[in-house]
């Protein structure tokens, strides 16, 4: 599916300003939509919206369907009289530039409990009942999973008491009765998340902004999906993954990337014509307008690592039924608004799969110069059916990247100068805007710039460093006074100049 010539900004909602320690789906999110409109943008790209698990990564979620309830807006709950202003009187003095996930959870979960009790006291809510019924195909098992996870101290599901871990009918009945109120609480949180998110999406769409969502190819091992649908995943009788995901060693990593997600049992998924994937696509397309598929190459061939390994070195390439899957999804949904993340080791077969369904691939300007770069990645060689980025959530910011290569890779700097006809020494901010303008001016129909690059921030604003856990990963937030009128005008002029605002 070919897209219009448009541009936008990559910003995960957790990075929005908020007095409550993490970005929310309230006033500041709506103000960010307004900023996009006033700066001539058409697209808002986000990361996966699922409930984050280990390491706070949105690519390791407790469900492939549920939402991240930390994003629920406290001010909206006050507006619904589910919270009272005095309930937030003891709001901690949160860091304005980083999400302190532990402190945020402690604070917000206490408020959510109060909101839930008032919601229950209010009685019948037809919209809630409708939401529960429409989403029961995932909501009930997820809510049960989260209630169980709480009483078992947060440990992985295969370490719970054996009877409930492996879904003994008697244990299922017992725990459903015992945890009925907790299950309802989890459903309430999901209702609030989806209600608030869909209201925000409707506002964005009304103002001419489309949302680009993100679909991780794999599910987390510690998830309601793996617990409730074990037959779809490569798990042994004890619930341990027998084959896990990652990418092999390459120029950038001697041991590759070990992700640990269980692989799919594709033969099982074929039996019902990929019903699980149809459900997943249906839900995500109700939440976003365009989908970026993470690690697209895994739908053609995936790197299979034996369970029990600690690195990605001892793996093998295995063919995946991507063509059959996308044929099935296309027959079900028609042409799909998908961007294929086709970075890394890409074969002719992966290119053919992408091109058969006319999915635009991704171009990263930071990968264009220096070690590992290729002529085909140079901007003047981009095809129209592509999405160009200065960098992604896994890259350093462009300023941080440029300062590093200035110290470590002088040939890459010389390449940049030759390509852009630069004769003098320039700083990181100047180079940042050179690459932003190059993305806007390229032939690629879609141009996306991380907000960190729009703001010309350094490595302190990096969103994630792959193959690392903890630290500042996924925690960056921006301060609202940075979105100035001068910045709006600068972006709007680029959008007009390069025909991306129509």
The catalytic position among 56, 141, 214, 294 is 294
Is 0.95 topped by the overall pTM?
Answer: yes
Catalytic entry in 163, 349, 394, 415: 394
Domain assignment present for residue 163? The answer is: yes
* Residue 138 within a domain: yes
Cα distance between residue 224 and residue 288, in whole Å: 22
Closest by Cα among 427, 475, 477, 426 to 452: 477
Which pLDDT score is estimated for 370?
65
Nearest to 463 by CA among 471, 454, 453, 473: 473
- Using CA atoms in the order 133, 136, 140, 146, what is the torsion angle rounded to 10 degrees? -110
Q: How many domains does the chain have?
A: 1
Q: Helix (H, G, I), strand (E, B), or coil: what is residue 304?
A: strand
Determine contact, residues 25/17, Cβ cutoff 8 Å: no
What per-residue confidence (pLDDT) applies to 256? 87
d(CA 138, CA 143): 9
Burial class (CB in 10 A: 0-12, 13-18, 19+), 155: exposed
Q: How far is CA 187 from CA 26, 76, 276, 482, in A?
A: 20, 18, 21, 37
Q: What span, in angstroms and rounded, lies between the C-alpha atoms of 117 and 111? A: 10
What is the domain range of residue 281?
A: 6-497
250 is an active site residue: no
Task: Tell me how many degrees the CA angle 15-18-19 measures, rounded to the nearest 5.
Answer: 140
> If DSSP codes are grouped into helix, strand and coil, which group holds residue 351?
helix
pLDDT in tens, the chain (502 residues): 789 999 999 999 999 999 999 999 999 999 999 999 999 999 999 999 999 988 999 999 999 999 999 999 999 999 999 999 999 999 999 999 999 999 999 999 999 999 999 999 987 789 999 999 999 999 999 999 999 999 999 999 999 999 999 999 999 999 999 999 999 999 999 999 999 999 999 999 999 999 999 999 999 999 999 999 999 999 999 999 999 999 998 766 788 889 999 999 999 999 999 999 999 999 999 999 999 999 999 999 999 999 988 899 999 999 999 999 999 999 999 999 999 999 887 899 999 999 999 999 999 999 887 655 566 667 888 999 999 999 999 999 999 999 999 999 888 898 899 889 998 899 999 999 999 999 999 999 999 999 999 999 999 999 999 878 878 999 999 998 999 999 999 999 999 999 998 7
Count CB atoms within 10 A of the CB of residue 417: 16
As a whole number of angstroms, the distance between CA 77 and CA 412 comes to: 51
Domain-located, residue 249: yes
- Give catalytic status of residue 358 as yes or no: no
- The strands making up 338-340's β-sheet, listed across from edge to edge, are 338-340, 290-293, 210-215, 43-45, 6-10, 446-450, 386-389, 361-364
Rg of the Cα atoms in the chain: 23
Q: What is the largest CA-CA distance in the chain?
A: 75
What six digits make up the tokens of 71? 């994003």
**Residue 502 located in a structural domain:** no
* Residue 384 DSSP code: S
Q: Specify whether 225 is catalytic.
A: no
- Kindly report the backbone phi and psi dihedral angles of residue 304, in degrees, each rounded to the nearest multiple of 5, phi listed first: -105, 120
Would residue 115 count as lying in a domain?
A: yes
Closest Cα partner for 489 from 10, 31, 38? 38
Specify the pairing of strand 316-319 against strand 301-306: antiparallel
What span, in angstroms and rounded, lies between the C-alpha atoms of 102 and 109? 11
Instruction: Look at residue 479 and tell me if it is in a domain.
Output: yes
For position 255, what pLDDT does the model report?
86
- Residue 449 sits in a domain of what CATH number? 3.20.20.80
pLDDT of residue 124: 73
């Amino acid at each position: 599916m070919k897209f219009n010539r448009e541009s936008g900004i990559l910003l995960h909602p957790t990075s929005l300003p908020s007095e409550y320690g993490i970005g929310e789906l309230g006033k500041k999110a709506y103000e960010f939509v307004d900023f996009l409109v006033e700066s001539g943008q058409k697209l808002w790209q986000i990361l996966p919206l699922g409930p984050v698990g280990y390491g706070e990564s949105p690519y390791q979620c407790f469900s492939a369907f549920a939402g991240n309830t930390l994003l629920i807006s406290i001010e909206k709950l006050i507006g619904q009289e589910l919270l009272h202003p005095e309930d937030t009187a003891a709001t901690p003095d949160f860091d304005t530039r980083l999400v302190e996930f532990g402190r945020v959870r402690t604070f917000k979960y206490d408020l959510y409990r109060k909101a839930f009790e008032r919601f229950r006291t209010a009685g019948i809510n037809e919209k809630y009942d409708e939401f529960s019924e429409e989403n029961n195909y995932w909501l009930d098992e997820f809510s049960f999973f989260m209630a169980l996870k709480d009483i078992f101290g947060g440990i992985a599901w295969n370490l719970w008491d054996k009877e409930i871990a492996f879904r003994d009918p008697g244990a299922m009945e017992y725990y459903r009765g015992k945890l009925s109120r907790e299950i309802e609480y989890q459903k309430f949180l999901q209702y609030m998340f989806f209600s608030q998110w869909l209201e925000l999406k409707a506002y964005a769409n009304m103002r001419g902004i489309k949302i680009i969502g993100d679909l991780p190819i794999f599910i987390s091992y510690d998830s309601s999906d793996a617990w409730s649908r074990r037959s779809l995943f490569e798990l042994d009788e004890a619930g341990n993954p027998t084959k896990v995901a990652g990418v092999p060693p390459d120029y950038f990593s001697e041991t590759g990337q070990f992700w640990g997600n269980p692989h799919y049992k594709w033969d099982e998924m074929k039996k019902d014509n990929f019903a699980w994937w149809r459900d997943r696509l249906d839900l995500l397309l109700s939440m976003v307008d365009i989908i970026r598929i993470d690690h697209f190459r895994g739908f053609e061939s995936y790197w299979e690592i034996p369970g029990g390994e600690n690195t990605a070195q001892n793996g093998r390439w295995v063919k995946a039924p991507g063509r059959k899957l996308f044929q099935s999804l296309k027959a079900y949904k028609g042409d799909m608004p998908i961007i294929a993340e086709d970075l890394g080791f890409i074969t002719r077969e992966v290119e053919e799969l992408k091109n058969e369904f006319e999915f635009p691939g991704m171009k990263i300007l930071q990968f264009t110069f220096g070690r590992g770069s290729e002529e085909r990645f140079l901007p003047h060689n981009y095809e129209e059916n592509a999405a160009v980025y200065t960098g992604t959530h896994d890259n350093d910011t462009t300023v941080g990247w440029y300062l590093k290569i200035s110290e470590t890779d002088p040939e890459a700097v010389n390449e940049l100068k030759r390509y852009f006809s630069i004769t003098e020494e320039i700083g990181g901010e100047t180079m940042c805007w050179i690459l932003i303008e190059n993305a806007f001016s390229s032939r690629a129909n879609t141009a996306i710039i991380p907000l960190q690059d729009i703001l010309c921030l350094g490595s302190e604003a990096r969103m994630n460093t792959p193959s690392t856990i903890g630290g500042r990963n996924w925690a960056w937030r921006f301060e609202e006074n940075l979105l100035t009128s001068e910045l709006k005008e600068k972006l709007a002029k680029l959008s007009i100049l390069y025909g991306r605002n129509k």
